Structure 1
Amino acid sequence: MRGVFLDTLTMKLEELDTSALEKSLDRWDFYETTAPEEIAARINEADVVISNKVVLDRAAIDGAPQLKLICVCATGTNNVDLDAAKARNIAVRNVQGYAGASVPQHTLALILALATRWHDYHRDVTAGRWTRSPIFCLLDHPVMELAGKNLGIIGYGDLGQKVAQLGRALDMNVLVAESFVGHRQADRIPLQQLLAESDVISLHCPLSEQTENLVDKDFLAAMKPGALLINTARGGLVDEPALADALRSGHLGGAALDVLSAEPPPVDHPLLAKDIPNLIITPHNAWISRESRQRLLDGVVKNIEEWKKGEMG
C-alpha cells in the first residue's frame, strides 16, 4: 500500500522519530507543502493520505480512486469533506490528546507574560530606558499579582482542566463557565457571571456555530475592567476588531493569543497594528514541543495500524 503525507513542514519531521511511520506502509511519498493545484496528482494512487492543514474537498476525494484512509495530523477535521469521505466509505481518523502538556504550559506562559508585563519591560531594557533610569528599577507598567485572583475557564475539557490545575498552583480561584450544550453542573457558573468576576479568562472551547465570534463587543464589555484574555483554542472564537478596540480603550488589561482567524495572517490583520497595548500574539505554536509532535505522529501511526487490522482482519 502507498501513503502520501501532504504537508510534512507543519511537523518538522526531521526532528522526530519517523521509523514507525515509514514501516507502516509499503511506500511513502513525503511533501513539505502541497498547493491546491498539486493535490490531485499527489493522491491519485494513494491508499492512505496524511494531511495536517491541506484541504481535502469532495473533488480531491472523488479524484483519488484508491483512497481508503485519511489521517488528519491534528485534532480538528474541518479540512476534510467528511460527507464525501463517507460516501466513498473512506475512513477519516484524527488524533486527540497529544498536546495535553504543551498547550497548558504555553497558556500559563501567556498568562504570566501579561500579568508581569515582561515583554514590555524587556523592550524597555533593550531600548536603554533602564540604563537611563534615575532609580534602581523601572515601574512603568502595572503588574498583576495572580494569587487570589479569579481565573475563568471557558471550555472545560482536558486542556481547560489542566490550565485550571496550573491556576490553582498559583493560588488563583478557578471559575468554570456552564457548558454550551446545556449540561448543568453544580460547580459551573453562568457565562455572564464569569465575565463579571474573572481577572483572567482563558478560552479552551471548540469552534462551532455556538462559539463563533463568542468574544464579541458585548462579551468584552461584560468583562471585568482590567481583565486579561487568553486564547489558545481557535481564532474564530474572537471578533478581532472588537478585541483591538477593547485593548485600545483600556477596558481590557491585556490579551494574549496563539491563534487568529486567518493563519498565517495578512499584513493588514486588525490585531497586527502596532498601536495596540499589552497584546501578545504567538504564531499558533502552543502545541509544537518536540514531545507533543512526536505524540501526534505516533497517534497517526496508531490510527494507520488499527485501520490495517480492520482492513485485513
Structure 2
Amino acid sequence: MHHIVYLERSTIIADMRRPNFPHRWSEHAMSNPEDMLDRLGDCTIAIVNKLPLTRTVISALPRLQMVAVPATGTNHIDLEACRERGIVVSNVRDYAGSAIAEHVFMMMFALSRNLLAYRQTLSEGGWQRSDQFCLFAHPISDLDGATLGIVGQGSLGRSVAKLATAFGMRVLFAERKGASTVRPGYTAFDSVLREADVVTLHCPLNDETRGLIGEAELRAMRRSALLINTARGGLVDETALIRALDEQWIAGAGFDVVTVEPPPTGHPMLAPALLGRPDFLLTPHIAFASRGSMQRLADQLIDNIEAFFAGEPRNRVA
C-alpha cells in the first residue's frame, strides 16, 4: 500500500479529495528541512511544495517512488537525483493563468495611474488645498497603446498577453537572453527592454534565468518603464532594482516574489523606506492564490498522483 506524505498542507487553501486507490495518508500543516527525513521516512509518494528535496534527502528515502509538486516550479528538487533513481516527479500546470494575469494588471494599473501616490497625496490633504475641482499632482499613463514586453511564452505569459490585447496594448514576447537567432513570433531580448513600456516576467528560475534582470538590463529599459515580477525572486538582482528605483532608471516596479521566502527580518525588499514608496508594490507571493486557482491546483495534484498509480504518469518533469 502506498504511503502518501504531505509536508506543507497549509500552502494550499482548498478542499482536497483523497486519491482513489488504497493508501495511507499523512499530512503536516508545515514542515522544516530538519523534519523531512523523519516525516518522509517510509513514504512512497511525497507531496513537497517548497522544501529542498536534495540528493542527500532522496538517498535516505529508499521507498520513495513519486514526488508530487503542488506548484509549477521545481527548482527546489534535485531532478537529476530523482531521474537516477527512477522517481517520478510531476508538477501542476495551467491552473492560475487568469489569476496571475489579473494580478499583473492590478499592479500595472496601480503603478501607471500612480494610485499609491494619489492616495498619499489625499491623506496629506492635497485635494482639499486644490484651487480647482481636480488635482494634477502626479502623472498618469494609459495602457492602451503602450508596449508590453513578456518574458516567457508559456501559459502564464499567454494569459497576460490575452488581457493586454484586450486593453489595446502592443505585445512583444522576448527571445531568450543572449540568443544568437530570434524565433518567429519573438523579439530580441535587448529590443524588448528598449521598446517596452512594461516588462513582465513569466519564466522559470533555473541556471539560465537566474539574475536575468540586473543592472545592465534595468539601465537599458525606458526611464518611464515598469517592471513586474510574479514569477520567481531570483530572476531579478534585488540590489540593482532598489538602486534603479532610487536613481530613477525605471518608473516603477511591482513584485509578488523575493529571493528568499518568507523573507527574513531585514530583507532589503521589505525595508520601510522601499515599501513606503509610491512607485513600488510588493505582495506576499499571492498572485496565484485566487479561490478558483487554488481548487484547480488541489484537484490537479491528486489527478497526478492517481495517474502515477495507474501507470500513466502525467505532467512529468523527471
Please confirm whether the aligned pair reaches a TM-score higher than 0.5, indicating the same fold.
yes
1:39 aligns with 2:36: yes
1:88 CA drift (Å): 2.8
Which consecutive unaligned segments of at least 5 residues does structure 1 have?
none
1:9-20 to structure 2, matched below 5 A, reads 9-12=10-13, 16-19=14-17
For residue 311 of structure 2, what is the aligned residue in structure 1? 310
Q: Could you tell me how far apart the structure 2 residues matched to 1:51 and 1:283 are?
A: 20
Q: Mean Cα displacement is larger for which, 24-33 or 1-10?
A: 24-33
Q: Could you tell me how far apart the structure 2 residues matched to 1:131 and 1:39 are?
A: 58
For residue 284 of structure 1, what is the aligned residue in structure 2? 285
1:25 CA drift (Å): 4.5
* 8 Å contact from structure 2 (residues 3, 24) kept in 1: yes
* 8 Å contact from structure 2 (residues 8, 31) kept in 1: yes
**Deviating 4+ runs (over 6 angstroms):** none
Q: Could you tell me how far apart the structure 2 residues matched to 1:237 and 1:310 are?
A: 36
- Provide Cα deviations, 1:14-41, integer angstroms capped at 9, x if missing partner: xx2222x254542211101111221111
- Provide Cα deviations, 1:28-57, integer angstroms capped at 9, x if missing partner: 111011112211111112121101112222
1:197-216 to structure 2, matched below 5 A, reads 197-216=195-214
For 1:267, the aligned partner's letter is T
Q: Could you tell me how far apart the structure 1 residues matched to 2:21 and 2:286 are?
A: 28
- Provide Cα deviations, 1:97-121, integer angstroms capped at 9, x if missing partner: 1112211111111111111121232
For residue 119 of structure 2, what is the aligned residue in structure 1? 122
1:259-298 to structure 2, matched below 5 A, reads 259-276=257-274, 277=277, 278-298=279-299
Q: Could you tell me how far apart the structure 2 residues matched to 1:98 and 1:159 are?
A: 9
Shift in CA distance, 271/135, structure 1 to aligned 2, threshold 3 Å:
farther
Q: Could you tell me how far apart the structure 2 residues matched to 1:83 and 1:225 are?
A: 42
For 1:242, the aligned partner's letter is A
- Provide Cα deviations, 1:290-309, integer angstroms capped at 9, x if missing partner: 11111111111111111111
For residue 50 of structure 2, what is the aligned residue in structure 1? 53
- Provide Cα deviations, 1:200-257, integer angstroms capped at 9, x if missing partner: 1111122232322121111111111211111111111111111111111122111001
For 1:84, the aligned partner's letter is A
For 2:56, the aligned partner's letter is A
1:134 CA drift (Å): 4.6
* 8 Å contact from structure 1 (residues 22, 28) kept in 2: no
Q: Could you tell me how far apart the structure 2 residues matched to 1:183 and 1:299 are?
A: 36
For 1:304, the aligned partner's letter is I
More relative contact order in 1 or in 2 (CA 8 Å, sep 6+)?
Answer: 2
- SS of the residue aligned with 1:310? coil
Q: 1:104 aligns with which of 101, 104, 117?
A: 101
* 8 Å contact from structure 1 (residues 9, 33) kept in 2: yes
1:68 aligns with 2:65: yes
1:128 CA drift (Å): 4.4
Which consecutive unaligned segments of at least 5 residues does structure 2 have?
313-318
- Provide Cα deviations, 1:36-94, integer angstroms capped at 9, x if missing partner: 22111111121211011122222322222322211111112222222332333222111
Q: 2:191 aligns with which of 193, 198, 203?
A: 193
1:133 CA drift (Å): 4.4
For residue 245 of structure 2, what is the aligned residue in structure 1? 247
Q: CA RMSD in A?
A: 2.0
For residue 177 of structure 1, what is the aligned residue in structure 2? 174
For residue 299 of structure 1, what is the aligned residue in structure 2? 300
For residue 222 of structure 1, what is the aligned residue in structure 2? 220
Q: Mean Cα displacement is larger for which, 98-107 or 262-271?
A: 262-271
* 8 Å contact from structure 2 (residues 146, 197) kept in 1: yes
1:138 CA drift (Å): 3.2
1:257 aligns with 2:255: yes
